[in-house]
Structure 1
Amino acid sequence: MPNPWLHALALAAILLLAQVAGRPALQLLRFSRDGLAAGDWWRLPTAHFIHLGWAHAGLNVLGVLLCCALAPRLFDRFLWLRLAGLALGLSLLLWRFSPEVSSYAGLSGVLYGLFAMGLLPQARRGDHPAALALAAIAAWMLWQWLVAPAALEEHLIGGRIVGVAHIYGFCLGLALLALQSVWRRRIFFLEIFRQI
């Protein structure tokens, strides 16, 4: 089984390579309500792999590496399916339930989903550092959404932080965990019935 860091570094490389393409790629790939209305459906998944600038991309690369350090089991061969599900689901939620969001770019919403998927199972198994990390991430997410994002952070990334995207990502991560659990139970019960 490949080292989790290979998956994390591959994802980081994708984010950095997308950033090399610069402003034209941002305009073409970001979530854009007008673009989606014109039929640019590719924007739904691609919006999360393009960033507002190098600082924005760098922060999300650091987030990927931190997530791998805290929840390495998440960075397996199914990482890419998780990323696709979170990216597509997050964009659909923004499109359907957040009409005030006209454009969006960045991996942060997806990252919140990955943190939820990686840390919650560890916390439930009694991993206190994972529980503390999950609580801190959830508190920061709620602060950004309910109070206000830090002006310094918005200045650093070069745009507005869309706090609701973090909420959507986190909740999608929890929903995917629940689906995973149902799927595993289904397989377990099928195996029992086969043995009877």
Structure 2
Amino acid sequence: MYRVVRTAAYAALLADRADRDQAHADRDQTMADLRRALDDLAEIRDAGVEEQRVLDDGLREVIRQVTAARDAARAELDAARIELEAARAQVLLDAEDRVALRALLRMARKQHGHADRVYALYRYGALHSLHRSMEVAEQAAEAVHPPRGGWTASRPGAALPPAAEVDWRIQPLALSTP
């Protein structure tokens, strides 16, 4: 009987040992699977981090480009505003010049009823004064700045260079009777 118990106990021990070995093998397999899963997760995480970094870099570049475009548009708008203000000021000056020129022409007609023209002296396109002759206009300009000689005068109907490019200009203006 002792032998039967011993054989049965030995068989049970062998069965327990086989179950234990199987449990250890299952545990080792599960641990290996878990390590592989952790490695896969780490790779996925690293890939996600890299993808996020690339997206962040791309977003920063887009923000930089949009900011540069915005700044350029603001600068262009500021330049346009300045240009508009200058144009408005020029229109006002032109209107003031026309009024002053009309007044000077009226005075010239009253003072010199016999003259058929007057000579307008311009400095950088702005009316400086009116004179009864070319020589008097030259003398008036010489009193302020340029030496005598080297003058260029426009002929009636001739194309003129831009006013802002000419220091002094004498232009004959015909007087018409009112």
Larger helix percent: 1
Structure with the bigger RCO (C-alpha within 8 Å, sep 6+) is: 1
Larger % of strand: which?
A: 2
User: Please, what TM-score do these two structures have when normalized by structure 1?
Assistant: 0.22
TM-score, with normalisation over the residues of structure 2? 0.24
